[in-house]
């Protein structure tokens, strides 16, 4: 599969994942799809809570599903919402993506129509705090 076909497919999965978004407070449906090195895809939606700070973003739902299924590296992640603008991962999600990202991970930020732009980890979280810092301390 060519890269652009592969990214279109991953974006489609992220758009579909919005269906189960639990968003009684914000009404903002987000979906994410992560790709693992062996080609598996895990999807996730945002899950909110009456205690607003307990909300879990779509990206982290998808990543936690992958890791809990034994897949702890991610080669790409697609993110989409109901917005006509591209949706970018929040700060907490950028940190969590960095934890499990392979070198060269692609971040596919899409809008509700499936248009997208590709980013690198360095584009969205330069000078990331990673486990390397802990090892060297
Ligand atoms: N949200 C995500 O799911 N991912 C992001 O990267 C940005 C924010 C969710 C959290 C909350 O449920 C809603 O969008 C509004 O912030």
Task: Please tell me the distance between residue 133's alpha carbon and the centre of ligand 1 in angstroms.
Answer: 28
Please, which residues bridge with residue 79 across strands? 32, 109
Q: Report which protein residue has its CA nearest ligand 1's atom 6.
A: 89
Q: Give the architecture-level CATH label for domain 3-133.
A: 3-Layer(aba) Sandwich (3.40)
Domain boundaries, the chain: 3-133
Query: How high is the pLDDT of residue 1?
Result: 58
The model's pTM? 0.96
Q: Is 14 in the pocket of ligand 1 (CB under 6 A)?
A: no
Q: Write the pLDDT tens digit of every residue in 104-126.
A: 999 999 999 999 999 999 999 99
């Amino acid at each position: 599969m060519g890269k652009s076909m592969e990214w279109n497919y991953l974006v489609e999965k992220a758009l579909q994942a919005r269906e189960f978004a639990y968003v009684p407070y914000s009404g903002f449906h987000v979906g994410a799809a992560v790709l693992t090195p062996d080609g598996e895809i895990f999807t996730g939606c945002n899950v909110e809570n009456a205690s607003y700070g307990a909300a879990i973003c779509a990206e982290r739902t998808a990543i936690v599903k992958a890791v809990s299924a034994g897949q702890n590296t991610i080669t790409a992640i697609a993110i989409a919402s109901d917005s006509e603008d591209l949706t970018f991962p929040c700060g907490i999600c950028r940190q969590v993506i960095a934890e499990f990202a392979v070198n060269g991970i692609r971040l596919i930020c899409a809008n509700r129509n499936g248009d997208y732009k590709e980013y690198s980890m360095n584009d969205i979280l330069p000078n990331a705090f990673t486990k390397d810092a802990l090892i060297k301390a």
